[in-house]
Amino acid sequence: MKKRMAILTAGGDCPGINAVIRAVTKTAVNDYNMEVVGIEDGYLGLIEGRWRDLTYADVSGILTQGGTILGTSNKANPFKYAVDLGDGKTGFKDVSDETLANFEKIGASVLVAIGGDGTLNISHLLAGKGVPVIGIPKTIDNDVDCTDFTFGFDSAVATAVEGIDKIHTTAQSHHRVMFIEVMGRYVGWLALHAGVAGGGDIILIPEIPYDVDVVCEAAVSRSKKGKKFSIVVVAEGAKARGGDVVVQKVVKDSTDPVRLGGVGSLLAAEVERRTGLEARVTVLGHLQRGGSPTAFDRVLATRFGTEAARQASLGNFGSMVALRGQEIVTVPISDAIGKLKSVPPDHGLMKSALSVGTSFGVKVI
């Protein structure tokens, strides 16, 4: 009987997931003569016992497709599974034994889990219960530790930059301060890269709590110098000095329930009130998770997927594939979880941004 490989995609979707599914499946079939089983909707499918065979034909032609053909969920943690207690109340229960039993039913020798921080945490805990896991780091936030880049990030940056470029023209025509709020959760990679690539005049990231006075000064000083508009790229996780993140909503049945959002609107209103400059806000939101992956992400996804399949054949379980410089390496999943990879204040791109006159909303970094 052929060996079987199981694969799931969990957490928020992003461009490049299908490219990874394709790479894992084709490599498993071509190089290792294995069968592949796709678990539906991430860990939810493993909890509920939903999976299907993934054939070569199933993954042919999906390289450029956004989303995930397997579906995903960011609400299904087998160790903390939400249950409805009635009266609008939600409780949590450990269903990891049932999840493990379902994995055994599949008869796979490995589980390839494609996901971000939350998914990798769950994968690590399941590995502790004996599941042979290999992780592939995915997220537009680029916040997974031990890898220079996650796939999905470059595509999200490209989409955000396209948005910023378009907003630039209205900013110029109407002499406005335009706030563009981007995703990224608690780190500023997406805002920093999109801000630099989009020529943002002010970039606000969670790692550097901003001073509203400095943000206002930066916009006013540009105006005085004849640049009557400003582009402010603000990360959804940005916060004022001494303040806290702005929460858009709480998703009760999610294991990571806080959804950030709204800092752009609050700040725009404040800057308009203080400076008299007209301000507008655009929240790019889930646009950043949609569409076809960039060439960089297609390459990274293909390299990650093929290497994960190779590591599966070698039995290097409990590991995650990662990008270090130009090389694909593996690291223990345990090293990659637990802390988010944030932007170091002395990061080279921060220095470059400062050199071209970008403000980070503070006097001194």
Single residue of 184, 188, 195, 361 touching ligand F6P by CB under 6 A: 184
CA distance 275 to 272: 5
Kindly indicate which of the ranges 29-37, 178-186, 302-310, 316-324 contains the residues binding ligand F6P, using the contact rule CB under 6 A: 178-186
**Residue 115 found at the interface with ligand F6P (CB under 6 A):** no
Coil, strand or helix at 289: helix
Q: Binding string, 61-90, against ligand F6P, x = CB under 6 A?
A: -------------x----------------
# residues contacting ligand F6P (CB under 6 A): 13
Residues 238 and 211: beta-carbon distance below 8 Å: no
- Cβ 251 to ligand F6P, closest distance in Å? 6
- Identified binder of ligand F6P from the candidate list 54, 136, 140, 268, rule CB under 6 A: 140
- Interface residue with ligand F6P among 22, 138, 176, 289 (CB under 6 A) is 289
Rounded to an integer, what distance in angstroms lies between the CA atom of residue 117 and that of residue 94? 19
Catalytic residues: 141
CB of 157 to ligand F6P, least distance (A): 12
Among residues 185, 193, 310, 341, the one that binds ligand F6P under rule CB under 6 A: 185
Alpha carbon distance 215, 25 (integer Å): 49
- Based on its alpha-carbon atoms, the radius of gyration of the chain, rounded to whole angstroms, reads 22
| Interface of this chain with ligand F6P, residues 304 to 363, rule: CB under 6 A | none
Minimal CB distance to ligand F6P: which residue?
A: 183
Measured from the CB atom, the residue of 6 and 161 that comes closer to ligand F6P is 161
Give CA torsion, residues 104, 105, 107, 113, to 10 deg: -60
In whole angstroms, how close is the CB of 61 to ligand F6P at the nearest point? Answer: 26
The binder of ligand F6P chosen from 46, 183, 202, 203 (CB under 6 A) = 183
The answer to whether 69 and 39 have CB atoms below 8 angstroms apart is no
289-298 in b/e form (b: 16+ CB < 10 A) is bebbbbebbb
- Identify which range of 54-62, 104-112, 137-145, 312-320 contacts ligand F6P by CB under 6 A: 137-145
If one asks whether residue 12 binds ligand F6P (CB under 6 A), the answer comes out as: yes
Half-sphere exposure (CA, 13 Å, Cβ side) for 253? 15
Q: How far is the CB of 109 from ligand F6P (least distance, A)?
A: 30
The nearest distance, CB 144 to ligand F6P, in angstroms, is 10
Q: Does 99 bind ligand F6P (CB under 6 A)?
A: no
Residue 259 CB, nearest approach to ligand F6P (Å) = 5
**Residues 223-262 contacting ligand F6P, CB under 6 A:** 236, 259-260
Residue (12 or 293) nearer to ligand F6P, CB: 12
Q: How far is the CB of 261 from ligand F6P (least distance, A)?
A: 8
DSSP string, 271-339: HHHHH---EEEEE-GGGGG-SPPPHHHHHHHHHHHHHHHHHHHHT-TTEEEEEETTEEEEEEHHHHSSS
CA torsion angle for 189, 157, 112, 127 (degrees, to 10)? Answer: 20
Q: CA-CA distance, 216 to 225, in Å (whole number)?
A: 14
Contact between 39 and 92 under an 8 Å Cβ cutoff? The reply is no
Sheet containing strand 89-93, strands side by side: 76-77, 80-86, 89-93
* Residue span binding ligand F6P (CB under 6 A) among the ranges 126-134, 170-178, 181-189, 207-215: 181-189
- Provide the minimum distance between the beta carbon of 117 and ligand F6P in the complex, in angstroms, as a whole number: 8
Amino acid occupying residue 204: L
The string of DSSP codes covering 203-271 is EE-TTS-B-HHHHHHHHHHHHHTT---EEEEEETT--BTT--PPEEEE-TTSSS-EEE--HHHHHHHHH
- Give whole-number Cα distances, 175 to 44, 203, 276, 279, 302, in Å: 49, 19, 12, 9, 44
Question: Which range touches ligand F6P (CB under 6 A), out of 77-85, 138-146, 307-315, 316-324?
Answer: 138-146
Residue (13 or 201) nearer to ligand F6P, CB: 13
- The residues binding ligand F6P (CB under 6 A) are 12, 74, 116, 139-141, 183-185, 236, 259-260, 289
